[in-house]
Amino acid sequence: MSDHTPQTADRPTERKVADAQRAALELARTDDGRRSDALREIAAAIEANAEAILAANERDVEAAEELHADGEYSRAFVDRLTLSETKIEGIAEMVRSVADQTDPLGETIEARRLDTGLELYRVSVPIGVVGTVFESRPDALVQIAALALKSGNAVILKGGSEALHSNRILHETILEATPELPDGWAAQVEAREDVETLLGMDEEIDLLMPRGSSEFVEYIQSNTNVPVLGHTEGVCHVYVDSAADLEMAREIAYDAKVQYPAVCNAVETLLVHESVAGTFLPAMAEEYETAGVELRGDERSRAIVEMDAAVEDDWRTEYGDLILSIRVVDSLGEAVDHVTAYGSKHTDAIVTDDADRAARFMRSLDSASVFHNASTRFADGYRFGLGAEVGISTGKIHARGPVGLEGLTTYQYYLEGSGQQVGTYAGEDAKPYRHEEFDGEWSPGSLSGEDGS
């Protein structure tokens, strides 16, 4: 656009975003067949290119191993970075499964006849240009690009520098497999300054999806006017009610902490009604201790079971580890108050056989997910059946909780008329509107014949 754009070997980020904007408009018009075929081409190209991808990944892994030897990276970090034949097959399968998802675009969400021959359709469309900043697992780049393509969005990809060579070759593989897609639909940026540039482009970028630590997501949110869909922390609770089946409570509380403690939907604080605490806690604590869970309790818990004292900060902490805080409460209301005061509005569960008490708990909490007699660990796009998971949102606007492809769409209003003017429906002899919902899908010339002019 500008004559004064500085020319560098690499195209500047602004130029990539401008190309992405153009590509987005074209992508929005492509039908699902073309988008899904392109995804299958990508899957095939990744498999065909496996050797070169592994070689590039080897370079990232070697560098990471050195930093691991220096104590900078954990073993788990290096493992996540490392690709293998099997992992590459898994990535290709994932891309094919995204291709197989129902088309999120072109769906008529509602149809309303405003008057005879004047029909309004609300139709799902892509958001436009989505900026993403993600962690170092090399499959992240492919997953995000696949989800963006399926939902007709252009995407700017910024991966972790630790995966630089892996990301480069995966990005090239994707672009080479999709020559028929609009130029610039998936652009990669690599430098930290590029992220700063993206944060300032609120006229051009429609949505930012950062993945990573809470601190990182919060940093992005605080430094941009682009809407951000992201996930900060998960301080999740399980509340064992007075009317709980204690055997069920034991299984749920165990699963929610022990099955995978490092994730955001693992429980961090166990709340127990005082009427069952004496029966429930001793056996529960024994089971936790066998699993290596460190317990920190309030005074009343510690009167029942010996454990360290929880301090005020414990109630707010996402341990992400085999640590659990425990508190005895007098009532369901006190449990709700605790979750409201200390929780992160992520996922909270009640165990009770009393449906009305469960409903009271669920309707009193402002959490994205509230569960009755099930483990908090179910809060996940795959388990929820949303298909591919775009991410988890802890905001309340646009998309909340686990986000599927639908979170990458917005809508347009299409009005099909036959020459209507607003003047006809205004003033003294105003014609009234009909405003009738009807079952209908927008398509070219969808205005129903009998009603049309």
370: contact with its own copies by CB under 8 A:
yes
Interface residues for its own copies in 430-449 (CB under 8 A)?
A: 433, 435, 443-445
Q: Closer CB to its own copies, residue 68 or residue 372?
A: 372
Neighbouring-strand partners of residue 240: 272, 351
24: contact with its own copies by CB under 8 A:
yes
- Shortest separation between residue 167's beta carbon and its own copies, angstroms: 27
- Shortest separation between residue 251's beta carbon and its own copies, angstroms: 5
Max CA-CA distance within the chain?
Answer: 83
- Shortest separation between residue 225's beta carbon and its own copies, angstroms: 6
Whole-angstrom distance, CA of residue 420 vs CA of residue 89: 56
In the set 287, 364, 440, 451, which binds its own copies (CB under 8 A)? 364
Angle at the Cα of 259 (from 255 to 264), degrees rounded to 5?
95
Query: In this structure, are residues 326 and 296 in contact, taking their beta carbons and an 8 Å threshold?
Result: yes
Query: In this structure, are residues 376 and 260 in contact, taking their beta carbons and an 8 Å threshold?
Result: no
385: contact with its own copies by CB under 8 A:
yes
- From the list 235-243, 276-284, 292-300, 355-363, the region that binds its own copies by CB under 8 A is 355-363
In the set 79, 308, 366, 441, which binds its own copies (CB under 8 A)? 366
Query: Site mask, its own copies, residues 219-258, x = CB under 8 A?
Result: --xx--x-x-----------------x--x--xx-xx---
- From the list 91-99, 158-166, 218-226, 278-286, the region that binds its own copies by CB under 8 A is 218-226
Tell me which amino acid residue 226 is.
Answer: V
25: contact with its own copies by CB under 8 A:
yes
How many Å is the Cα radius of gyration of the chain? 26
- From the list 56-64, 86-94, 313-321, 393-401, the region that binds its own copies by CB under 8 A is 393-401
Q: H/E element holding 159?
A: none
Count the Cβ atoms, other than its own, within 10 Å of residue 362: 17
Look at phi and psi of residue 363 and say left if phi exceeds 0, alpha if psi is from -120 to 50, else beta: alpha
In the set 90, 213, 260, 282, which binds its own copies (CB under 8 A)? 260
Interface residues for its own copies in 99-128 (CB under 8 A)?
A: 112, 114, 118, 120, 127-128
Q: Closer CB to its own copies, residue 238 or residue 307?
A: 238
In the set 368, 388, 403, 405, which binds its own copies (CB under 8 A)? 368
- Alpha-carbon dihedral 150, 152, 155, 160, rounded to 10 degrees: -10
Whole-angstrom distance, CA of residue 314 vs CA of residue 325: 7
Distances, alpha carbon 152 to alpha carbons 125, 126, 247, 397, 402, in Å: 8, 5, 48, 21, 20
Query: Site mask, its own copies, residues 317-346, x = CB under 8 A?
Result: -----------------------x------
212: contact with its own copies by CB under 8 A:
no
- Binding-site size for its own copies (CB under 8 A) equals 76
With CA atoms as reference, report the closest residue to 49 among 88, 11, 21, 23. Answer: 88
* Four-residue CA torsion sign, 395, 397, 401, 407: negative
Interface residues for its own copies in 54-93 (CB under 8 A)?
A: none
With CA atoms as reference, report the closest residue to 405 among 191, 171, 97, 138. Answer: 97
